């Protein structure tokens, strides 16, 4: 895995990839999708052992990872002040002295992800930065509120200023093999988002099999998802490497057949810098450099940023600092 030694993004550039418009549900394609679980697990088990980067290259990759983080707070005790502090961290995720030592002017995170009620505070705090606000929606995390309310919630979040909407699918459609219902639901959610990009959360830990994960990924992309995302972060099992491999291979298959690139977002349980490097290596090997961009890859995380900053400080000073020195706000 190779990387540039410095990166200086100050905000997200304009999207240059054409947006996935979706296509009619192709049940022959869906039924043909299989997943060799043992082979997938073997492949996933090799990536961390075989791929490592050191010193300046590691620092460069960690800086790149920061630009792909959806800095997230989804707690029941969220307040506007907490969200504003999180937004301040999103604007300046790494201390200035560390960036100067690394030869980087400035970077930001990919987005800030919050509940609907916190959108106005986040939009106000990020005004003029180019950092988008992402909102979880459609009855997050279970997705079991009345259907018309889930659709309406999307519209309210877009109206409030969210530029990205993380929706949750109805898991029962996957578990019962009702792919038409999943397609119709995702299609309506996509329409309700309008110009806002939609990330489809599959809650993979609740889908039973990797074949279900692969088929659900494909159906959501057929329905126009801009991103597919592993988890809400509230399930007992969240992002894993086998699930990631399954989903990104579905993305690759979709691109090869349609020419449209769909993004990927692992979320839940990714808290260490070494894990971020593993995920980036897997993306590079399976999808290529085009996906190493905030427009096509995001981490759903909060504590990950603190550990990355801690590793960057060690790179600069040779010493590890206490974790509490790298808080989110």
- Residues catalogued as catalytic: 166, 229, 265
Task: Identify the residue whose tokens are 């052992």.
Answer: 49
Angle between helices 303-317 and 55-66 (to 10 degrees): 150
Q: What is the DSSP letter of 147?
A: H
Measured distance CA(44)–CA(60) in Å, rounded: 24
Instruction: Say how many C-beta atoms besides its own lie within 10 A of residue 45's C-beta.
Output: 12
Question: Can you say whether residue 264 is alpha, beta or left, with left for phi > 0 and alpha for psi between -120 and 50 degrees?
Answer: beta
**Peptide bond preceding 141: is omega within 30 degrees of 0, i.e. cis?**
yes
**29 vs 87, 219, 228, 229, CA distance in Å?**
42, 10, 18, 21
- Cα torsion angle, 56, 61, 67, 69, sign: negative
Q: How many residues does the chain have?
A: 329
Task: Identify the residue whose tokens are 């491999």.
Answer: 245
């Amino acid at each position: 895995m190779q990387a540039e030694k410095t990166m200086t993004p100050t905000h997200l550039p304009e999207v240059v990839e054409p947006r996935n418009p979706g296509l009619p549900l192709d049940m022959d394609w869906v039924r043909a999708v299989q997943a060799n679980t043992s082979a997938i697990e073997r492949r996933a088990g090799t990536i961390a052992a075989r791929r490592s980067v050191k010193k300046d290259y590691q620092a460069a990759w960690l800086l790149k990872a920061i630009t792909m983080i959806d800095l997230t707070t989804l707690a029941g005790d969220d307040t506007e002040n907490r969200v504003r502090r999180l937004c301040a961290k999103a604007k300046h995720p790494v201390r200035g002295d560390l960036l100067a030592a690394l030869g980087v002017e400035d970077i930001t995170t990919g987005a800030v992800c919050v509940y609907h009620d916190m959108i106005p505070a986040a939009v106000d705090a990020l005004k003029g930065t180019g950092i988008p606000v992402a909102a979880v929606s459609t009855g997050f995390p279970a997705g079991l509120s009345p259907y018309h309310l889930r659709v309406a919630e999307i519209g309210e979040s877009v109206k409030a200023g969210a530029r990205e909407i993380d929706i949750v699918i109805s898991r029962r459609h996957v578990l019962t093999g009702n792919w038409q219902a999943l397609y119709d639901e995702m299609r309506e959610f996509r329409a309700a988002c309008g110009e806002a990009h939609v990330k489809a959360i599959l809650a993979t830990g609740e889908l039973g099999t990797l074949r279900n994960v692969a088929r659900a990924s494909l159906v959501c992309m057929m329905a126009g998802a801009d991103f597919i995302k592993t988890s809400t972060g509230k399930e007992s099992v969240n992002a894993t490497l086998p699930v990631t491999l399954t989903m990104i291979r579905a993305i690759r298959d979709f691109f090869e057949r349609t020419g449209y690139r769909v993004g990927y977002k692992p979320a839940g349980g990714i808290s260490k810098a070494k894990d971020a490097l593993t995920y980036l290596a897997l993306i590079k090997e399976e999808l290529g450099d085009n996906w190493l961009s905030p427009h096509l890859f995001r981490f759903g995380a909060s504590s990950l940023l603190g550990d990355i900053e801690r590793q960057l400080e060690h790179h600069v000073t040779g010493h590890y600092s206490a974790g509490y020195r790298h808080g989110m706000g």
